[in-house]
């Protein structure tokens, strides 16, 4: 069994209550941001497409313990409006001759046909294929929707070498997936999906979650390093380390409100990025800090947060370890070290 039924039931009860306030309709959200392309620093055009949202979050298993994205998805998607806005905004965002990445997010799975019907998936990809400036396209999906058939359909719609399927693996440790995140799949499912992606010539991006509930920060550092090693052996060349930020209406948000959870330290992220990049210099390592410097996101003491977040941003764009290798000095570094030890003892 890939879930713990008691844990899943508790998550579902929290979810059901929070879902009552979900809005009925929502517009396409879109922005342009700095991004590390395979070819070097550049821009990404990001779309959040208003689908019904993640099927796993809406299932009787309640979804992941840490995720509240579903509350931003509408109950009744309107694909006609969505396509019209998508085409207009994409056209307006492209800059002639400037290569960019296109990130197509749904706060769920782009490849789930109950979220986006196959015809709409194809129409979106055909539209994107008209722009030579778009050199990379990121589509997020859970592994179960990465079928041979769907990968073949994508291959028929667009140059498959541009496609990167981003999967929220979170951890390569099945115990953590089951008991801490309620992910509903295991490492072997990720492995099989990755094989289907590689088979058609597309690329895989993996998200790893830093510090899920019930795991001490120290153990999560170890887990991320072990997961990166397994991903590297599999041939995954882009990994994004996502430090927890607290989403409302989640199991984790309740722990946080009861002071049973501290969001990760920026020192830990800095340590992780240094370790990983020095061991795997060719890996494209992403580490975007959401809500960084606040209590609900990765943070230090408040005095040194900005300089570390800025250094991490610069490092992600340059992929040059020198950007994070300088000696950052702050008195809270000692506090971080004793926290790692103390929290590990408490959780054990
Ligand atoms: S983390 Fe991903 S799979 Fe889990 S509930 Fe959120 S969108 Fe769904
Ligand atoms: Zn500090």
The structural domains of the chain, ordered by start, are: 5-259+283-290 (3.80.30)
For residue 207, pLDDT over 90 is answered with yes
- 301 by Cβ neighbours in 10 Å (0-12 / 13-18 / 19+) ranks as middle
Nearest CA to ligand 1 atom 2: 108
What's the pLDDT band for 323 if we cut at 50, 70, 90? Answer: very high
For residue 170, the ligand 1 atom closest to its alpha carbon is 1
Look at phi and psi of residue 186 and say left if phi exceeds 0, alpha if psi is from -120 to 50, else beta: beta
- Tens of pLDDT, residues 58-79: 999 999 999 999 999 988 899 9
Nearest CA to ligand 1 atom 7: 108
Nearest CA to ligand 1 atom 8: 54
Nearest CA to ligand 1 atom 6: 67
CA distance 80 to 85: 9
pTM, full prediction: 0.97
Mean of the per-residue pLDDT values for the chain?
Answer: 97
CA distance 52 to 152: 24
- The Å distance, Cα 246 to ligand 1 centre, comes to 14
Residues less than 5 Å from ion ligand 2, measured at CB: 300-301, 303-304, 330, 332
What is the pLDDT, as a whole number, of residue 288?
93
Q: Which residues line ligand 1 at a C-beta cut-off of 6 Å?
A: 54, 56-57, 63-64, 67, 69, 107-108, 142, 168
- The Å distance, Cα 331 to ligand 1 centre, comes to 37
- Tens of pLDDT, residues 145-183: 999 999 999 999 999 999 999 999 999 999 999 999 999
Half-sphere exposure for 76 (CA within 13 Å, toward CB): 2
Question: Residue 143, Cβ neighbours under 10 Å: how many?
Answer: 26
- Residue 24 corresponds to which tokens in the numbers above? 């009925």
3-class secondary structure, 9? helix
- The Å distance, Cα 199 to ligand 1 centre, comes to 25
Ligand nearest to the CA of 169: 1
CA distance 240 to 238: 7
What is the pLDDT, as a whole number, of residue 309?
98
Q: Which of 3, 63, 166, 247 to mutate to test the pocket of ligand 1 (most atoms within 8 A of CB)?
A: 63
Ligand nearest to the CA of 265: 2
- 21 by Cβ neighbours in 10 Å (0-12 / 13-18 / 19+) ranks as exposed
- The Å distance, Cα 210 to ligand 2 centre, comes to 20
- The Å distance, Cα 44 to ligand 1 centre, comes to 22
- The Å distance, Cα 68 to ligand 2 centre, comes to 29
- Residue 133 corresponds to which tokens in the numbers above? 């400036």
Query: Are the C-beta atoms of residues 99 and 40 closer than 8 Å to each other?
Result: no
Lowest mean per-residue pLDDT among 23-27, 87-91, 283-287, 314-318: 23-27
What is the pLDDT, as a whole number, of residue 327?
86
What is the pLDDT, as a whole number, of residue 332?
98
């Amino acid at each position: 069994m890939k879930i713990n039924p008691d844990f899943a039931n508790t998550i579902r009860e929290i979810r059901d209550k929070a879902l009552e306030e979900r809005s009925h309709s929502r517009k396409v959200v879109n922005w342009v941001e700095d991004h590390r392309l395979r070819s070097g620093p550049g821009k990404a055009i990001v779309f959040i497409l208003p689908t019904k949202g993640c099927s796993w979050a809406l299932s009787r298993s309640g979804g992941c313990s840490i995720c509240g994205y579903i509350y931003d998805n509408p109950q009744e998607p309107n694909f006609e409006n969505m396509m019209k806005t998508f085409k207009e905004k994409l056209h307006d965002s492209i800059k002639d001759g400037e290569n960019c990445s296109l990130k197509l997010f749904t706060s769920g799975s782009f490849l789930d046909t109950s979220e986006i019907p196959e015809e709409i998936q194809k129409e979106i990809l055909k539209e994107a294929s008209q722009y030579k400036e778009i050199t990379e396209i990121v589509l997020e999906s859970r592994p179960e929707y990465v079928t041979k058939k769907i990968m073949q359909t994508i291959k028929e719609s667009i140059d498959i070498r541009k496609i990167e399927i981003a999967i929220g693996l979170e951890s390569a440790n099945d115990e953590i997936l089951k008991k801490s995140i309620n992910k509903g799949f295991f490492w072997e499912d990720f492995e099989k999906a990755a094989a289907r992606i590689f088979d058609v010539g597309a690329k895989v991006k993996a998200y790893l979650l830093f510090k899920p509930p019930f795991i001490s920060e120290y153990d999560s550092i170890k887990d991320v390093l072990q997961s990166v090693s397994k991903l590297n052996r599999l041939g995954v060349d882009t990994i994004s380390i996502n430090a927890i930020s607290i989403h409302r209406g989640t199991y984790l948000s309740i722990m946080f409100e009861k002071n049973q959870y501290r969001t990760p330290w920026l020192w830990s992220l800095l340590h992780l990025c240094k370790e990983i990049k020095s061991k795997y210099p060719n890996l494209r390592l992403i580490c975007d800090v959401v809500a960084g410097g606040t209590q609900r996101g990765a943070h230090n003491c408040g005095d040194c947060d900005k300089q570390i977040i800025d250094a991490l941003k610069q490092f992600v764009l340059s992929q040059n370890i020198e950007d994070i290798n300088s000696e950052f000095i702050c008195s809270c570094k000692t506090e971080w070290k004793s926290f790692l030890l103390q929290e590990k003892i408490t959780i054990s």
